[in-house]
A and B are shown apart, each in its own frame.
Chain A
Amino acid sequence: MAAVSSASRKAFDARVARTLGDPGLQEVLRSGQDYMQDLCEAAREELDWPAWLDAVGEVRRHTVAHLDHYVEQFAHNVEMHGGVVFCAADAAEAREYVAELARRTSSRLIVKSKSMVSEEIALNPALEATGAEVVETDLGEFIIQLCGERPFHIVGPAIHKSLEQIRALFSTLAGEELPPDPAALTQFARRQLREKFLSADMGITGANFGVADTGTIVLVTNEGNGRMTTTLPRTHVVVMGVERLVPDLEGLEPLLTVLPWQGVGQRITSYITAITGPRREGDADGPDELHVVLVDNGRSAILGSAYQDILHCIRCGACLDVCPVYRQIGGHAYDSTYSGPIGAVLSPLLEGLPRHAELPFASSLCGACSEVCSARIPLAEHLYGLRRDAVAQGLGSTAWRAGFDGFATATEHPSLFGLAERAARPLLRLFAHGETVRRGLGPLAAWTHTRDLRLPEPRAFRRLWRQRPPGQGGRDPGGERKAGGGRDERGGRSAP
């Protein structure tokens, strides 16, 4: 099989097996996808969906194509409004900046609103090392923080947790048995986290988008924790990917129109917050300091490559909601911050194929991801490209390479090909029981483990064709020949 190390492949298989073998997870994945797909149907009825996706693609393509210009403009404008911008080349620089800021501001209690990038750079442990308590406030992130797990889905990190699992988790925290009722558990989380918000020293968020010509940070949320995190603590830190910009406020329109539908199946989220600098003099509330950490961490290396448009992603999660592979294996199988089709492409690009050798191959290339993508990224095409790259980097197995080489030779010589076909039937017959093959070796065994295979007919098509009686023409399938030929069958006519 194609993997740089069989240990890596075994670990992947083990993660996959855990999800495939868990009926609860299987049910969550299926019903979650069905639910999201139904909701998105409504969007397609209401909006000229293709035009809006084209619009998102256009704005993001323009921005990334001129990213240097917009990053510079964005940083300038954030600073003009009193914010501080730090450009972090990699995860370590980003972590160190935020940790140092936490020390300098004596931030002992830090609240966080959802940020995939902060997960990507492993920020929390670095902050905890300064002695700070770090609390995730997005309900899904709060849940997985309590479990010590990674997100299962980009938009809904805790969708894999059952009501009972969450009830038990919260009950332990509460020190009493809580009822198995989502509303009651939500209210518990509200009370629990409200205390944290009110006494936090620092709030850390991601950014859905940064607006270059105003220096504005845009947050798209439903719960209100993003607003709390950016209003109550003295210091607000934004950790964002360097590519998550738009040129101006008008350019936000297609993104804010499409993202809520694709991400959560809603026309709009409860809150969209546009933050430009820290509080101004005379403002009743808001943070005193705003820091924006722009994270590269491998993104710039993708610029100028055939994969550049992966940076157009707006992290809507729609590709996860339609992927038939994700539907079976869930987010943890990907062993990376980003899962699903976006993860299968982005993670190898950010961290290298050897670290994520299985991901581009964990796909049937069905193309559902490309079809649904908010920004018109040809995700499936990139999977073909990454597979080519994997082979070029020597991550393919010698057995498969030899097999494809041999097959290619046969395809160049039709007579050789024909001979191989003739040899196939008796070979398969060795494994057959009657007309059906139920066992085998190598790839055949992989097939027959779960599927039957019918023995092929005695003669290949090319032999049948050669053995056709001469003088064919207008022959109907019944085997009777019609007299003459010269029938003119074009345009709207029926068969003879």
Chain B
Amino acid sequence: MRVRASLMVTCLGDALFPRVGVAAVHVLEALGVTVDFPAGQTCCGQPAFNSGYRDSARRSARAFLRAFAGSERVVSISGSCAAMVREHYPLLFSGEPEEAAARALAARTYEFSEFLVDVLQIDRLPVRCSGKVTLHHSCHTRRMLGIVEQPERLLGMVEGLEYVPLPRSQDCCGFGGTFAVKMPEISAAMVDEKVDHVLASGAELLTGLDMSCLMNIDGRLRRRGASVPVKHLSEVLAEGWRR
């Protein structure tokens, strides 16, 4: 029986980084997964939840629950959005009629790299990508979902790729959702340090599991005139896929 999964592309992914979703679909399908895209999905409600607007968050989350109601499994291209569903949906819907549905969705939602390594149990990839690559472990992905090794293992399967660890990888990049625009000076100081570490790593490419963080780091890299490309892990795998 084929593995079926619904893609959670996230509002940011849908609007600003469609190529990441495209890459994720390609990789999943090449690995034999039947991918569908519930068109009713828009936003999981994380931005409103993070800012304290729980009623607004619940409205978005209800629509999200409906969109994925028929999904066997959900694969998200954003760790923080997967964390929102897994860790905060039960809280958001505690005591609400949707509580059971929220818990059920949480139980079958995965982050992309976690899905490949822990569910599909991939141990080899026909991917080539030469050069030094470093990885940003996003905070929610690392701390709320406990995902640290999975992306590293996937990078280790890529032929020709030299993985260079990012110094102080545990440090937040400063995005924090609306924090980046509500407290921009502090956020900028944080992303500046992150950029220093990316440049110090000697990496020729920065990858990661969350486009929100990567967008933030990429934005500062470019403003500082650096030319290190920044891509989601799904893009690295898709682009290097050997035919």
- Which A residues have a C-beta under 8 Å from some C-beta of B? 1-2, 13, 16-17, 20, 30, 322, 324-325, 327-329, 361-368, 370-371, 384, 386-392, 396, 400-401, 404-405, 407-412, 414, 417, 421, 424, 436, 438, 443-444, 446-447, 449-454, 456-457, 459-462, 464-466, 472-478, 480, 485-496
Q: Which residues of A contact B177 (CB under 8 A)?
A: 364-365
| Residues of the B chain whose Cβ atoms lie less than 8 Å from the Cβ of A493 | 122
Contact of B171 among A324, A451, A478 (CB under 8 A): A324
Residue from A30, A450, A459, A493 having most chain B Cβ neighbours under 10 A: A450
- Would you list 5 pairs from A and B whose C-beta atoms are within 8 A, ordered by A residue? A16-B183, A328-B186, A367-B140, A446-B182, A489-B32
Q: Are the C-beta atoms of A408 and B48 separated by less than 8 Å?
A: yes
A446 touches B143 (CB 8 A): no
Q: Please tell me if B163 contacts chain A, counting CB pairs below 8 Å.
A: no
Complex Cα–Cα for A410 and B193 (A): 36
A interface footprint on B212-243 (CB within 8 Å = 1, 0 otherwise): 00011011101100000000000000110101
Establish whether residues B27 and A477, one from each chain, have CB atoms under 8 Å apart when the complex forms: yes
Residues of B within 8 A of A488 (CB): 1-2, 32
Annotate B137-167 by CB proximity to A: 1 below 8 A, 0 otherwise: 0011001100000000000000000000000
Query: Quick check: is B202 within 8 A (CB to CB) of the other chain?
Result: no
Q: How large is the interface on B (under 10, 10 to 19, 20 to 34, 35 or more residues)?
A: 35 or more
A137 to B214, CA, bound (A): 48
Question: Number of A-B pairs whose CB atoms are under 8 Å?
Answer: 255
Task: List the interface of chain B (C-beta within 8 A of A).
Answer: 1-3, 9, 11, 13-19, 21-23, 26-27, 29-34, 37, 39-43, 45, 47-54, 56-57, 59-60, 62-64, 88, 120-126, 139-140, 143-144, 170-172, 174-191, 193, 215-216, 218-220, 222-223, 238-239, 241, 243
When chains A and B are docked, how far (Å) is the Cα of A465 from the Cα of B188? 35
Q: Is the CB of A16 within 8 A of B185?
A: yes
Task: Give B220 Cβ to nearest chain A Cβ, in Å.
Answer: 5
B30 touches A477 (CB 8 A): yes
B139, A364: Cβ atoms under 8 Å? yes
- Please state if A460 and B27 are interface contacts (CB–CB under 8 Å): no
A368 lies within 8 A of B143 (CB) = yes
Known: A20-B189, A421-B14. A490 touches B3 (CB 8 A): yes
Other-chain contact of A324, B30, B50, B190, B218 (Cβ < 8 Å): B190
Evaluate contact between A404 and B139: CB separation under 8 angstroms: no
From B18, B43, B121, B243, contact of A461 by CB (8 A): B18
**Which 9 pairs, one residue from A and one from B, show the smallest C-beta to C-beta distance?**
A364-B176, A489-B32, A451-B219, A387-B52, A494-B124, A477-B26, A366-B172, A366-B139, A461-B18
- Report the minimum CB–CB distance from A6 to chain B (whole Å): 13
Option from B45, B140, B241 in Cβ contact (under 8 Å) with A411: B45
A391 nearest CB neighbor, chain B only: B52
Measured CB to CB, the closest approach of chain A to B153, in angstroms, equals 13
